């Protein structure tokens, strides 16, 4: 019986090497291995309920991180955290935001100071990080606000939220008391509608005025129009910034976290011309304000309330904004007296805007303080038939 044709060990090794170790074969095996590994990874992720891994993504910014975690941080906090956006958030910066967002009420003042330190230092410093850690705040993620449970949830029917940025901007001693009274009147109006201070950013410039409530402007308003609606004392006022600057106000407006069902109110009181509003360190143009408003991600309607001379000249060009209402203390050709406009907004808040302006002007004329003539502007004329605040807005 003939012996089987056996190959030597050396010959078989060479044949295997030629078959499997060619570059083309090696690349094919690598591709198949990578494909199978990716398929296994994706399948495992799906089975475990996780999203498939993403190779690369855009850097996460502060606003996205806040929304992702359903944090309720006020406009001023978002302004203070804005320097963290430069290169996307790292883990230390995310942890700092977690601590700030979860701060209990008794720690709010200290946390706000540290958040302002981030703004002043143009970023998170090791010292600020250490101080935040030492606060010994809870590390778990903040749950959705209990207050929102009293309204319809965001998922099923988007509730109306209201945000306000209020500022006086003049360092003129002759006008300062009037602008203080003016912005405090509007602040009181927002508070009476149930707004939390978390939704109000108040810039109040009041150097050398310890008693910011009982100003000379309040006294003459009381004389001509009756009791002026102001807080009873400074302790009832939550001031976000006393060192008012033009950039701080514009940044606060740009950072308003509203969505397409929310109302935004911007109220300014200062010296004014047809094109500019005065601030201690610069002039606010209507172009700059329009640009800041357009940076807001979304809003349902935006109101610009301007208590200054020549207010109409500043407000009229803003009509090109979407869903815009402007209310001024006088037309572009006239001067005005600060404080009368917000007083009338408070007194006739339940009427339509057109009626509010008409009733307010009638009362001003009867008081013989007829240097003021209230004016209104709209991107849609039907807005004149609506009140300043919707009648069906439910406070917390």
**Residues 297-306: tens digit of each pLDDT:** 899 999 999 9
Q: How much is the pLDDT for 217? A: 86
Residue in 122, 206, 129, 196 with CA at minimum distance from that of residue 164: 196
Q: How much is the pLDDT for 28? A: 55
**Sign of the CA dihedral with 394 first, then 67, 138, and 100 last:** negative
Q: How much is the pLDDT for 317? A: 94
Phi-psi region of 88 (alpha: psi -120 to 50; beta: other; left: phi over 0): left
Residue in 186, 215, 203 with CA at minimum distance from that of residue 329: 186
Q: How much is the pLDDT for 21? A: 53
Q: How much is the pLDDT for 201? A: 95
The per-residue pLDDT string of the chain (396 residues; one tens digit each, 9 = 90 and over) reads: 444 454 454 555 455 555 555 555 555 554 555 455 544 444 444 444 444 444 445 678 888 888 888 888 887 888 888 888 777 888 888 888 888 888 887 788 888 888 888 888 888 898 888 888 887 655 444 444 444 334 333 444 677 889 999 999 877 777 788 899 999 999 999 998 888 899 999 999 887 788 899 888 888 888 888 888 899 888 899 999 988 999 999 999 999 999 888 999 999 999 888 788 988 788 999 999 999 999 998 999 999 999 999 999 999 999 999 999 999 999 999 888 888 999 999 999 989 999 999 999 999 988 877 777 999 999 999 999 999 988 766 443
142 contacts 71 by C-beta, under 8 angstroms: yes
Instruction: For residue 95, count other CB atoms closer than 10 A to its CB.
Output: 16
For tokens 């060619």, what's the residue?
22
Name residues whose C-beta falls within 8 Å of residue 264's C-beta, 6 or more positions apart in sequence. Answer: 162, 163, 164, 256, 258, 296, 299, 301, 302, 303
pLDDT digits (tens, 9 = 90+) for 266-293: 999 998 887 889 887 889 999 999 999 9
Alpha-carbon gap, residue 377 to 393, rounded angstroms = 23
**Sign of the CA dihedral with 230 first, then 236, 238, and 241 last:** positive
Instruction: For residue 25, count other CB atoms closer than 10 A to its CB.
Output: 12
Consecutive H or E run containing 86? none
Alpha-carbon gap, residue 278 to 311, rounded angstroms = 12
Q: Where are the alpha helices (DSSP H) in the chain?
A: 9-20, 23-48, 62-68, 75-80, 91-101, 108-120, 126-134, 146-149, 173-192, 216-225, 246-254, 286-294, 311-315, 340-347, 353-366
Q: Edge-to-edge strands of the sheet including 162-168? A: 200-203, 162-168, 263-269, 301-307, 324-328, 375-378
Helices 108-120 and 91-101, axial angle in degrees (round to 10): 150
Alpha-carbon gap, residue 134 to 34, rounded angstroms = 46
Residue in 40, 45, 76, 79 with CA at minimum distance from that of residue 62: 79
Name residues whose C-beta falls within 8 Å of residue 134's C-beta, 6 or more positions apart in sequence. Answer: none
Alpha-carbon gap, residue 244 to 268, rounded angstroms = 12
Q: How much is the pLDDT for 374? A: 95
């Amino acid at each position: 019986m003939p012996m089987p044709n056996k190959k030597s060990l050396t010959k078989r090794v060479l044949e295997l090497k030629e078959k499997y170790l060619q570059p083309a074969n090696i690349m094919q095996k690598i591709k198949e291995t990578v494909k199978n590994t990716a398929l296994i990874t994706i399948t495992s992720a799906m089975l475990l309920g996780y999203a498939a891994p993403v190779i690369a993504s855009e850097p996460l910014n502060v606003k996205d991180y806040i929304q992702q975690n359903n944090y309720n941080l006020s406009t001023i906090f978002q302004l203070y955290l804005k320097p963290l956006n430069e290169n996307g958030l790292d883990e230390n910066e995310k942890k700092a935001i977690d601590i700030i967002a979860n701060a209990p009420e008794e720690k709010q003042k200290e946390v706000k100071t540290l958040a302002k330190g981030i703004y002043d230092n143009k970023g998170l410093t090791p010292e600020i990080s250490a101080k935040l850690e030492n606060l010994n705040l809870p590390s778990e993620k903040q749950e959705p606000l209990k207050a929102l449970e009293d309204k319809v949830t965001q998922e099923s029917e988007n509730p109306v939220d209201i945000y306000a940025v209020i500022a006086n901007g003049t360092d003129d001693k002759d006008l300062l008391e009037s602008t203080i009274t003016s912005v405090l009147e509007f602040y009181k109006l927002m508070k009476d509608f149930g707004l939390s201070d978390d939704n109000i950013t108040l810039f109040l410039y009041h150097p050398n005025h310890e008693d910011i409530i009982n100003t000379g402007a309040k006294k003459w308003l009381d004389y001509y129009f009756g009791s002026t609606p102001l807080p009873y004392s400074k302790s009832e006022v939550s001031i976000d910034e006393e060192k008012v600057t033009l950039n701080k106000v514009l940044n606060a407006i740009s950072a308003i976290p509203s969505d397409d069902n929310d109302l935004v109110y911007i109220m300014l009181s200062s010296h004014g011309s047809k094109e500019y509003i005065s601030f201690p360190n610069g002039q606010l143009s209507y172009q700059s304000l329009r640009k800041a408003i357009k940076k807001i991600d979304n809003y349902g309607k935006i109101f610009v309330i301007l208590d200054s001379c020549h207010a109409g000249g500043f407000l009229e060009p803003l009509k090109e904004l979407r869903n815009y209402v402007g209310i001024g203390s006088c037309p572009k050709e006239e001067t005005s007296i600060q404080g009368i406009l917000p007083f009338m907004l408070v007194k006739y808040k339940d009427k339509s805007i057109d009626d509010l302006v008409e009733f307010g002007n009638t009362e001003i004329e009867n008081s013989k303080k007829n240097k003021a003539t209230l004016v209104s502007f709209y991107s849609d004329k039907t807005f004149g038939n609506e009140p300043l605040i919707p009648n069906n807005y439910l406070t917390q």
